[in-house]
Structures are given as C-alpha cells and as structure tokens.
C-alpha cells in the first residue's frame, strides 16, 4: 500500500489572494479539467476510491487511509501534498496525463483548503437569481460597474454608418442599402437608432437570419442522409420556423411539438435526439453517457437512457423504406401543411361541392318523372347493346420513341404485339378513323403471348405491366387535337394496390397492373367517355397509351375496340347492364315492390344521362378537385406517440443489440423534476425544458444571443454549460438576462432589442 504524503514541512507558503476564493469561479475549473477524469462522477473509472466532485466524499479517507481534503489545514490534506510533491510516482495529476498544474492553480487550491474548502453546486445547475439593478439600462449598469472594478473605460460609440451595418447584419444577415445608411445618418431624431432596430425586427429577413442557428441545431436537411440520401420535403417546417421568429412566437412554445439494420438505426436516431436535446436546450454534452457515466457532469448512464425512454415511444422506424428510399419523399408519420392561400382554395372547392350537392338534391325530387320518361327507351336499347364492342381499324400504331421504343406488329386477330427495345417508359400511339356512329366508350384488351417474358401480358422480366394513362383525343379535318374526358373505368381484374381507377385518378407512381408474374389470363379494361364522341366524317380518333410508373413495365400485346351504344348499356363482356334490371322493367311500375323500385332508381341515377346524373357527376368531379388539391399540398414528417410505450434498456457500451437493465422515463437527479401536473411523456419533457425551475434553458439561449451579437458568450463555452464550462465573465449579467427573458414571456425580439439597444453594443 502506498503511504500517504503528509509533508507539511515541504509545502511552500501561499500568498493571500486579494479576494476570497469562489469555488465555481476558481476551483471547479481546475478540478474538472485536471482531476474529475479519475476522481469524478464516473464510478467505473474512479481511482483509489477517491471522489472530488462531492464535498462529503472528498473529506472521507481514500483507500490508502489518507484524507484528500482537511478543511482549514492544507498541510494535512493529501490533495495539496500530491499537487506540490516532486516525486513523479506521487504527483497529481500524473505527468502522463499531460495536464500539469500551474503555480497559480496550486496556490488557488492551497488557499481554498485553507479557507475551509467550501463547495458550491455547479453554477449552471443553480436557478438564476435576478440581481437588483438601478439605471435605465440594466445591461449597461452591470457592465459599467464591472469595467470600473477592473479600472477600464468603455470603447467610444460607433459612428452611425458602422452601427447600422453592424445591426443590419446581426438582425437580418443583410447589409443596409446606401439609401438606408444615408437616411440614418441624416435622421436628427433622438430615437433614430431605435427606429432602425424596430424596422429590422419587422423585416421578413429577420426570421430567416434567426432560423439559421435553430435549423443547424435541429439537423435540418432536405435529404434523408443515410442509405441512398434521397430527397425529402421538410421545407414546410423550415418555413414554420422562419414564420415563428417573424411573428415573435414565444421561445417556450418552439418545442411543443435501405441497406441498414432497422433496429440499429432506430436506436441511433433516438440517441441522436437525446444528444441533440441536451446540446440544443441544456448545453450539456450527453454523448459519452450512452456508454458510461459522465466523467465530469453528475449524469449517469442510467439517466441517459431514462431520457432515451422519452423518445423511444415514437412510431418512426429510423429507416427509409418503400418509394421514399431511392425515389425520395417523406416517410410516415406525416402531417399536411396549409397556408392561408391553400386554405382559401380548399374552402372555395368545398363550397362548390356543397352547392353541387344542393343541386343534386333538387334534381332528385323529379326522379320518378325522369324514370317514367326513360323506361320506353330502355327496352329498345337492350337490342342495340348486343355486339356493342367493335375492334378499331387503326391507320398508325407505333411507339412515341420511334426506333428507341417498341416495334408494334399487327396480328391476325387485330391485336398488336410489342417487340424490340423495351424502354423504361414507353408511350404507344394508336390512331384510327372515328367510327361513323361515334364512340361512347373504349375497351383495351391485354393478351398473353409466347414471345413475351413469362409468356404473360407485359414486357417486364416477370411478365407484368403497369399502365398509367389512357389519353383520348379527336382531331377534326383541318383542326387541332381536342382532349376528351373519361367518366369512369372498369377492369375484369386489378392487382392489389394497382387498381384500374389509378388510371382515372392519375395516381403518381401507380397505374393498372394485373399480376402478370403469376396470372397469364387475358384482361379487359373499359374506359367510358364523359360525353359521346360525334364528329364529321374524316375525324381521327387519337389514343395514347402511357406507362410512366415503373421502368420497363410496358404492355406486351393489346387490342382496342369501341362502342357507340349508350354508356349505361355497356359492360366489359359486351352484354348490357340493362339486362340486370330487364326483368323489373317488364313489370308495370304500379306493381313493383319497394326493393324493385329501389333497384331501378339505383341503376338510373348511376348510369342514365339526366339532370340527376349530371349533378351527381358534378359532385364527384368537385370532390376529385378537392382530393387533387389536397394531394398537391406539401407534407412534413413528424413524430407520433405509440399507443403502448416501448420498453427501454441501458445499452451495454451503447450498442443496440446489448440491452441490460430496463429503465423508464426520468430526468437527471441534479436537475429539477417535471413541473407539477406535467405528463410523463415527450410533452412533459418539453414543458420541463422551459419550466422556470430549470436552471439551464434560459441561460443557454441568452448566452448564445450574447455570443451572436458580441462575438463571445458571457460564458465562452456556449456549447457546454456543464462542469467543463468556463466560468462566466459576468455571472450577474448572465443571470439577469436569463430571468428577464423568462419574465418577458420568452420574448426573443425583446431580448435581442435589449442587447442591440445597449451602449455596450
């Protein structure tokens, strides 16, 4: 066992300092930098059983039996002996650490022990107290008093050109215009400078300037980062931050909120949120706590994972999956974002929907009369509906991509077979004379062929296709192409998630698919026009079949037919829909049952052109307009709480696959508890961060504001207010600003105006 070094005769005498030792200012920085690594909060790294960050522990005998600190008696204190010894084996800190004590630091430690070795809680962990200040400007009063104490005088006031340039850059990030400089220099009013400051605080560029720091802290990015680094749409949140600064949203409301292993990156994301929360709001470096107790601050690994638990209950997975991986886009959960203009547009469309519904209700009052007028024609149309579909006889069937696209060859049955190049997104051009009787609907038949992949219907390697758009035009002699509107679509089969209505809705990235990899049966799709096509002789029917969802998923073999009979008579197989109600039509109206009458009414309103169907179609069209408008709105990723909390564990060495002890949500013991009544969840954590009892948040942000305007923080280590932080150059001013910031309702503009209106600025 090493003998203790109680060598009072060899200790040099210290000179009495001009003022009494202040532990946080004079001693804590020395102990934190030179001693806490081996004798601090981290129990696993603690040497010789000696702990120096807690007074009671420091006064107890170490494993050697020696007492490190004997208050009032430095000659009997092992700490002092080890600092002054010339024996390399006993010297503290050890020479190998490369952090020797200076003569001044040794003298301070010796004086401190002689004065009784008083400890203080770390200054940043003690709630700020607002000092009593006299004078019109508290900032200047405090600084003037400090300058006088140091025997210094203020620098001369800046000239007006310098001042307006300084404050313009600080508040908006932009220099003043020559006209603004000239106006300020010539303004004789005593409040000329305040007028400039008020104008800058109201500038839209103020929010942009202030948001820069916030976005950096929040890790803002327009791409996902990990994996394929595809793009995402987070700008609505950025705009919200800018708008919040411009609207002077109270600061305490700001937080009210492939190719990787999913669980690993979920854990990494949560750990990053814990570390970001610690840095952004508390200016504490929590990073090392993921693996062990903090070596300098009284924050344990367990407390780190208690904070981790607050963020462990969100539904996001930590990985980018599906279409948002390579193609880009946002990953759920999401919220849609509106602004006043889009809200007005949505409200206008909703009003149009309401009006159309009223018109439909009014038209329905004459339903019985409409049906009575229609029935005589209905039975006549039954005979016309037989063999309704007639194959078109095209004059041109080619790829829009010419020799870079498919070669389309006519087959004996009137179908066309694709061969040759299979580009990513092919468009088939199909032109034919408009049938003399006009067109009410078109049918697309997709057929299997032995020459196609998997002997199926599509050109992709698995035999599938994804058909996205069926564009219909007519071109009258001497005229320009006129685009036509589809009213409804139907198919005899659709792959799940790729239904035929995707073609009608033009659902981006989707279309009609038929499971061509596993099903090889012929498929039909019917496209009913909004209005029958009737045009003079010589009119050309122009069809464009597009494949714009997934590369290479083009139709392999197809045939197109047309029908001219009333749309309500058409079915995919060519039979009449009227056949479904033919039996009811044969019964006199007076003898029909209520159910039979309901069937006739249902068929009529859905299929027969009438004021009722037209107003119903108008409602559907307006609702689609609303859906389209909503689909175009931006969205932004958010965090969503899980219904049941997920278990959290201390992770061995911080590795995702090494859970040890289960922990719940909690806060570091060195800081105040949750506010009374706050829930034990992320909302409660947010409330705790800006609770007046929390000693850190207000200090952190006024310190950053001071750094922004003056170049250095009042505590120079703005990124860290923990035990390794520098002692503030003016702790009273820092506390005054922190308390005033909270008293003002966390008013950011008021804080910044105070700073730039000071004589110090």
Question: What gap in Å lies between CA 557 and CA 413, rounded to an integer?
Answer: 11
* Greatest mean pLDDT among 9-23, 58-72, 261-275, 579-593: 58-72
Residue 625 exposure: Cα atoms within 13 Å on the Cβ side: 16
H/E stretch holding 489: strand 486-491
Query: Is the pLDDT at 757 greater than 90, yes or no?
Result: yes
Question: What gap in Å lies between CA 640 and CA 653, rounded to an integer?
Answer: 28
Specify the pLDDT at position 127.
Answer: 92
Query: Is the pLDDT at 386 greater than 60, yes or no?
Result: no
Query: Is the pLDDT at 604 greater than 80, yes or no?
Result: yes
Token pair, residue 501, equals 């209505």
H/E stretch holding 601: helix 594-607
Query: Is the distance from CB of 555 to CB of 547 less than 8 angstroms?
Result: yes
Q: Is 3 helix (H, G, I), strand (E, B) or coil?
A: coil
> Residue 389 — pLDDT band, cuts 50, 70, 90?
confident
Phi and psi torsions of 535, nearest 5°: -150, 165
Residue 747 exposure: Cα atoms within 13 Å on the Cβ side: 11
> Residue 265 — pLDDT band, cuts 50, 70, 90?
low
> Residue 106 — pLDDT band, cuts 50, 70, 90?
very high
- Tell me the pLDDT tens digit for each residue of 712-738: 999 999 999 988 889 999 999 999 999
Burial class, 525, CB count within 10 angstroms (exposed 0-12 / middle 13-18 / buried 19+): buried
Looking at per-residue pLDDT, the higher value among 333 and 68 belongs to 68
Specify the pLDDT at position 295.
Answer: 81
Token pair, residue 16, equals 């009495």
Specify the pLDDT at position 264.
Answer: 60
Average pLDDT value over all residues in the chain: 87
Query: Is the pLDDT at 577 greater than 60, yes or no?
Result: no
Q: Which of 4-8, 44-48, 152-156 has the lowest mean pLDDT?
A: 4-8
Specify the pLDDT at position 231.
Answer: 64
**H/E/C letters for each residue in 557-574?**
EEEEEEECCCHHHCCCCC
Specify the pLDDT at position 194.
Answer: 96
Specify the pLDDT at position 323.
Answer: 44
Whether the predicted model's global pTM rises above the 0.85 cut:
no
Query: Is the pLDDT at 621 greater than 60, yes or no?
Result: yes
- Tell me the pLDDT tens digit for each residue of 330-383: 766 777 888 889 999 999 999 999 999 999 999 999 999 999 998 888 767 655
Quick one: how many helices (H) and strands (E) in the chain? 24, 18
* Greatest mean pLDDT among 157-166, 226-235, 289-298, 647-656: 157-166
64 to 3, 67, 83, 110, 139: CA distances (angstroms): 7, 9, 17, 21, 51
Looking at per-residue pLDDT, the higher value among 246 and 332 belongs to 246
Question: What gap in Å lies between CA 248 and CA 753, rounded to an integer?
Answer: 12
Specify the pLDDT at position 172.
Answer: 97
**Which of these, 90, 119, 95, 115, lies nearest to 31 by C-alpha position?**
119
Query: Is the pLDDT at 543 greater than 80, yes or no?
Result: yes
Query: Is the distance from CB of 404 to CB of 396 less than 8 angstroms?
Result: no
Looking at per-residue pLDDT, the higher value among 580 and 570 belongs to 570
Specify the pLDDT at position 434.
Answer: 96
- Tell me the pLDDT tens digit for each residue of 290-306: 888 888 888 888 988 99
H/E stretch holding 410: strand 407-410
Specify the pLDDT at position 645.
Answer: 81
Query: Is the pLDDT at 670 greater than 60, yes or no?
Result: yes
Looking at per-residue pLDDT, the higher value among 105 and 642 belongs to 105
Handedness of CA 655, 660, 663, 666 (dihedral sign): negative
**Which of these, 695, 693, 694, 709, lies nearest to 748 by C-alpha position?**
709
């Amino acid at each position: 066992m090493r003998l203790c070094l109680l060598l009072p005769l060899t200790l040099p005498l210290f000179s009495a300092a001009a003022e009494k030792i202040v532990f946080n200012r004079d001693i804590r920085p020395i102990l934190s930098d030179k001693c806490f690594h081996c004798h601090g909060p981290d129990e696993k790294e603690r040497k010789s059983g000696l702990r120096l960050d807690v007074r009671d522990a420091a006064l107890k005998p170490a494993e050697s039996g020696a007492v490190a600190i004997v208050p009032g008696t430095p000659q009997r204190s092992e700490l002092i002996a080890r600092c002054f010894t010339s024996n390399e084996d006993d010297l503290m800190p050890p020479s190998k650490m490369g952090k020797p004590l200076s003569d001044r630091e040794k003298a301070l430690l010796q004086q401190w022990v002689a004065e009784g070795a008083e400890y203080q809680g770390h200054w940043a962990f003690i709630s700020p107290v607002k000092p009593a200040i006299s004078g019109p400007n508290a900032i200047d009063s405090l600084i003037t008093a400090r300058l006088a104490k140091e025997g210094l005088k203020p620098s001369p006031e800046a000239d007006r050109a310098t001042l307006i340039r300084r404050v313009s850059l600080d508040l908006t990030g932009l220099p003043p215009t020559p006209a603004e400089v000239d106006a300020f220099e010539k303004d004789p009013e005593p409040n000329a400078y305040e007028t400039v400051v008020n104008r800058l605080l109201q500038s839209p560029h103020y929010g942009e300037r202030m948001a820069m720091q916030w976005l950096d802290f929040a890790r803002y990015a327009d791409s996902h980062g990990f994996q394929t680094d595809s793009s995402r749409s987070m700008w609505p949140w950025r705009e919200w931050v800018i708008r919040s600064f411009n609207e002077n949203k109270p600061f305490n409301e700001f937080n009210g909120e492939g190719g990787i292993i999913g669980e690993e990156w979920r854990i990494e994301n949560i750990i990053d949120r814990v570390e970001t929360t610690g840095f952004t709001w508390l200016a504490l470096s929590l990073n090392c706590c993921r693996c062990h107790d903090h070596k300098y601050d009284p924050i344990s690994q367990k407390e780190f994972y208690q904070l981790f638990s607050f963020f462990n209950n969100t539904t996001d997975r930590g990985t980018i999956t599906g279409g948002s991986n390579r193609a880009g886009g946002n990953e759920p959960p999401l919220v849609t974002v509106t602004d006043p203009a889009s809200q007005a547009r949505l409200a206008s469309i909703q009003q149009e929907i309401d009006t159309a519904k009223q018109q439909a209700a009014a038209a329905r009052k004459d339903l019985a009369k409409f049906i009575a007028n229609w029935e005589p024609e209905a039975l006549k149309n039954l005979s016309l509906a037989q063999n309704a579909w007639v194959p078109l006889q095209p004059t041109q069937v080619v790829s829009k991509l010419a020799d870079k696209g498919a070669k389309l060859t006519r087959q004996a049955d009137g179908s066309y077979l694709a061969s040759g190049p299979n580009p990513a997104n092919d468009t088939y051009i199909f032109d034919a004379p408009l049938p003399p009787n006009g067109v009410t609907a078109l049918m697309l038949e997709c057929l299997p062929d032995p020459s196609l992949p998997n002997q199926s219907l599509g050109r992709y390697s698995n035999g599938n296709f994804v058909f996205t758009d069926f564009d219909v035009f007519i071109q009258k002699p001497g005229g320009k192409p006129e685009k036509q509107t589809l009213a409804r679509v139907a198919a005899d089969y659709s792959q799940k998630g790729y239904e035929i209505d995707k073609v009608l809705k033009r659902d981006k990235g989707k279309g009609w698919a038929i499971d061509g990899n596993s099903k090889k049966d012929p498929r039909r799709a019917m496209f009913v026009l909004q209005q029958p096509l009737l045009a003079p002789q010589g009119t050309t029917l122009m069809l464009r079949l597009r494949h714009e969802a997934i590369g290479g998923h083009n139709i392999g073999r197809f045939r197109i037919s047309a029908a001219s009979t009333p749309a309500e008579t058409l079915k995919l197989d060519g039979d009449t829909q009227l056949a479904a109600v033919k039996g009811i039509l044969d019964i006199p109206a007076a003898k029909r049952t209520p159910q039979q009458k309901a069937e006739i009414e249902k068929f009529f309103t859905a299929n027969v052109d009438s004021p009722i169907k037209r107003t119903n179609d108008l409602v559907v069209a307006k609702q689609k307009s609303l859906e389209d408008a909503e689909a175009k709105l931006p969205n932004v990723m958010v965090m969503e709480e899980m219904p049941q909390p997920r278990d959290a564990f201390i992770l061995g060495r911080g590795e995702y696959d090494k859970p040890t002890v289960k922990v719940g949500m909690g806060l570091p013991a060195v800081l105040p508890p949750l506010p009374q009544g706050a829930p034990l969840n992320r909302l409660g954590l947010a409330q705790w961060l800006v609770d007046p009892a929390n000693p850190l948040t207000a200090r952190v942000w006024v310190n950053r504001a001071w750094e922004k305007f003056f170049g250095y923080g009042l505590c120079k280590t703005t990124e860290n207010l923990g035990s390794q932080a520098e002692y503030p150059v003016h702790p009273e001013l820092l506390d005054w600003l922190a308390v005033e910031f909270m008293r003002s309702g966390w008013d950011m503009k008021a804080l910044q105006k105070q700073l730039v209106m000071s004589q110090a600025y």
